[in-house]
Amino acid sequence: MAAFEAYLVPGKRGYLIGIGGVSMSPLAEVLYGEGISITGSDIQRSDKVIHLESMGIRVNIGHDAANITPEYDFVVRTAAARDDNPEVQAARAMGIPVFERTQAWGALMKRYKNALCISGTHGKTTTTSMCTHILMAAERDPTVMIGGTLPLLHAGHRVGAGDTIVMESCEYYDSFLAFCPTIAVILDIDADHLDYFANLEAVKTSFLKFARLVPPDGTVIANVDDENTMSALAGLDRRILTFGLSPEADVQGVNIISRGAQTDFDVLYQGAFFTHLHLQVPGLHNVKNALAAAAAAITLGLSPTAVKYGLAGFRGANRRFEFKGKYNGADVYDDYAHHPGELRALLDAVEPLGYKRVIVIFQPHTYSRTNALFADFVEQLKRPDLTILAEIYAAREVNTLGISSASLAKEIPNSIFRPTFDEIKTILRASIQPGDLVLTVGAGDVYRVGEELVAEAK
């Protein structure tokens, strides 16, 4: 099968399976803008599908082998379209090449002077969003692909006409190894996705391969405070620009002052003052995310003013410490944290905010992650004043391990396990007091609990 670049030719015809997805719909727009005829399918009509149809892109609702005809030169599938998908099977039966979406994005990156790829076990969405704010403030008209909704864009993507593309780059299944970064950001490396990676060393090896994708004249931006990142990159023959709080960092944060959910600090570049930042999101982890974004901006030649004003307007991405409203005098927030390291950063950020109590409703994400990191989850979930555990969100998995959130609850003294959201809401109605902070936390659908309580209060 030829590389995807061979199909980036005006007049070619492509079919996108799952065209309404978060990374597939902007892919459709970019390919369509290249003069390629695009058709696709999705399981339901959505706002993204309606937008694509308004551009003249035909979308079939439902996956059907009959949708695939010999007229198509290539097919791109979303990650959710497995080999048993009828459209995938039909394309292969006709000899039509089937590409992964990451292969398509990787080929498209080569058309941009700057391909900024944001990777890391934690913080990718936030840092990609911060970089987007900076690039928009600098009027660089970027193309953007984020794994969450950014209020600035009213979406998780943007198709621009500038020379820079910004991509959130995930390590799961080594998917980011299909990308072609000119600038690769590595925020941190932790043991995660252990249903795919054998262990932490395997994760580090994957990130090293990602860093090696950067061309000799490119830059790897790395967190000097993260031991796993720096050990993974030891001996890398690429330019490395470091960021962090340590004096050894090329881009360093100093004079940090936190006031509630806001943080002020100075950014030094190679020891000299670069700019002062005022963040409207809490926590040292967000200071480091901002430093990574500043390092990317420096590499791209952007001005200190663009960094300062771009980040001054950043108030977080969807599901990243997102304020949902109030219930019985308590503040209700939602966060995507689904790894012990992310829980630690979240709780570190909220503990100084002065709330009477912190109540966490946590929904573990996947059986394999819960099992592999069980002790670390217990350690963090002991910290809130009250932890309410929802049942594990299965996502792509089947429970062959016999594990449940009830297993966590047995090890956490201040916890309650309830298998349904209705039962959890009953407990919360009786428990929430004025001055509390209520956090729905997890990568599944636990956010519904907070949203429904806030809706009741209205």
From the list 102, 121, 125, 132, the catalytic residue is: 125
Distance CA 81, CA 334 (A): 29
How many residues make up the chain in this entry? 458
Residue with tokens 């020891």: 271
Give the pair of three-digit tokens for residue 252: 């360093």
From the list 29, 48, 121, 124, the catalytic residue is: 124
Residue with tokens 């308004």: 54
Cβ-count burial 290-328 (b if 16+ within 10 Å, e if not): bbbbbbbbbbbebebebbbbbbeebbbbbbbbbebebbb
* Number of Cβ within a 10 Å radius of residue 386: 18
Element (H, E) at 407: helix 405-409
From the list 48, 143, 149, 168, the catalytic residue is: 168
Distance CA 36, CA 34 (A): 6
Could you give the angle at the alpha carbon of 233 between the alpha carbons of 231 and 239, nearest 5°?
Answer: 140
- Of 345, 228, 349, 222, whose CA–CA distance to 292 is shortest? 222
DSSP string, 213-279: TS-TTSEEEEETT-HHHHHHTTT--SEEEEEESSTT-SEEEEEEEEETTEEEEEEEETTEEEEEEEE
Query: Catalytic: 168?
Result: yes
Query: Catalytic: 125?
Result: yes
Q: How far is CA 420 from the centre of its chain?
A: 27
Q: How far is CA 198 from the centre of its chain?
A: 22
Distance CA 316, CA 238 (A): 32
- Of 266, 219, 264, whose CA–CA distance to 242 is shortest? 219
Give the pair of three-digit tokens for residue 107: 């080929």
Enzyme catalytic residues: 124-125, 168
